[in-house]
């Protein structure tokens, strides 16, 4: 297995930055951005680590006879969320999705280790979230999709509650471990790098863009990026025709604005199996696939899995 990937801590960055500022003034500032980039991960290991809001932390949990149970507390949620753990008795690794709304600085997961009998240890594994400033994107969409009517608002709230249940899906893979988490691109086409953009619809700020947009014609088949189970199929106010896939241990993916959904809840898909088609349904400016990837109930940058 790979060596653990650790990143410079914020204090280190600040010290280095201060030193550079002393020597070279503002010209030294890009060094901060360079330091904040992920350390290279071995090419056989996915996802790439990127410890910024919307990124993924890869945390070494060391050896253990059985898979450690890891949890993370997010935002103001009262209940900790389970974290995906991959590896084997030699080396376990936690893959932690970092929310786009996460504050830069120190964070940690809690790891429960049981060794055979009753011995049960809880320890904290720290990591650091580096700052990342995402660009702003201005979009023009039909006014009724920004200023919601009372009926549309009620519909949106029902759908939001339903989606929250879908996002809480947690399943253990049948073989006890996950295959490689390297994902296939779900549809060929130009991939935007718009993940994390702070979006302004018709002049009004809304939630940041939490996925990747891939330009493709209506009707283009979309394939599963990993083996999956279909956990939701629906038509939603903002997202239009939507399918959610479960890849195990809280790794989910979502496909939005679809023109057709050729799958039912409970279907099991092989990687590469077509299950829906690109469209322009919901709040869109044209046909494309919106592709979201979720870890521990957190939308993360899909490009880290490619």
Residue number, nearest CB to Zn ion: 290
Give the residue among 283, 284, 282, 290 at the shortest CA–CA distance from 194: 290
Closer Cβ to Zn ion, 213 or 246, answer by number: 213
User: What is the closest distance, in whole angstroms, from the C-beta atom of residue 224 to Zn ion in the complex?
Assistant: 19
> DSSP secondary-structure letter at 19?
H
**Interaction site with Zn ion (CB under 5 A):** 213, 290
User: What is the closest distance, in whole angstroms, from the C-beta atom of residue 291 to Zn ion in the complex?
Assistant: 8
H-helix segments, the chain = 10-24, 30-35, 150-167
Q: How many CB atoms lie within 10 A of CB 83?
A: 25
**How far apart (Å, rounded) are the C-alpha atoms in residues 181 and 56?**
13
Closer Cβ to Zn ion, 165 or 193, answer by number: 193
User: What is the closest distance, in whole angstroms, from the C-beta atom of residue 94 to Zn ion in the complex?
Assistant: 28
User: What is the closest distance, in whole angstroms, from the C-beta atom of residue 138 to Zn ion in the complex?
Assistant: 15
Residues 6+ apart with CB under 8 A from 112: 68, 69, 70, 71, 120, 121, 122
Closer Cβ to Zn ion, 71 or 202, answer by number: 202
Q: For 89-111, b where at least 16 C-beta lie within 10 A, e where not — what string?
A: eebbbbbbbbbbebebeebebeb
Closer Cβ to Zn ion, 139 or 166, answer by number: 139
User: What is the closest distance, in whole angstroms, from the C-beta atom of residue 304 to Zn ion in the complex?
Assistant: 17
Closer Cβ to Zn ion, 229 or 290, answer by number: 290
């Amino acid at each position: 297995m790979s060596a653990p990937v650790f990143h410079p801590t914020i204090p280190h960055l600040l010290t280095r930055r201060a030193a550079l500022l002393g020597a070279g003034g503002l010209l030294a500032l890009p060094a901060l951005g360079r330091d904040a980039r992920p350390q290279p991960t071995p090419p056989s290991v996915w996802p790439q680590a990127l410890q910024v809001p919307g990124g993924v932390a890869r945390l070494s949990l060391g050896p253990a006879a059985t898979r450690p149970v890891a949890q993370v507390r997010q935002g103001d949620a009262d209940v900790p969320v389970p974290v995906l753990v991959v590896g084997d008795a030699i080396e376990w690794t936690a893959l932690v999705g970092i929310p786009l709304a996460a504050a830069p600085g120190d964070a940690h997961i809690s790891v429960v280790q049981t060794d055979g009998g009753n011995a049960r240890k809880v320890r904290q594994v720290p990591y650091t979230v580096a700052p990342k400033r995402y660009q702003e994107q201005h979009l023009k969409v039909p006014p009724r999709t920004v200023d919601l009517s009372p009926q549309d608002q009620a519909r949106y709230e029902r759908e939001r509650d339903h989606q929250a249940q879908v996002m809480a899906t947690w399943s253990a893979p049948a073989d006890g471990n996950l295959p490689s988490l390297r994902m296939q691109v779900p549809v060929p086409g130009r991939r935007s790098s718009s993940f994390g953009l702070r979006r302004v619809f018709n002049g009004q700020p809304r939630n940041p863009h939490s996925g990747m947009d891939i330009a493709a014609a209506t009707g283009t088949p979309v394939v599963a990026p990993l083996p999956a189970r279909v956990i939701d199929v629906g038509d939603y106010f903002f997202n239009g025709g939507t399918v959610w896939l479960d890849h195990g241990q809280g790794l989910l993916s979502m496909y939005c604005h679809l023109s057709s959904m050729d799958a039912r809840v409970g279907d099991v898909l092989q990687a590469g199996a077509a299950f829906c088609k690109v469209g322009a349904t919901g709040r869109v400016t044209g046909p494309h696939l919106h592709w979201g990837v979720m870890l521990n109930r957190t939308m993360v940058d899909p490009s880290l899995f490619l």
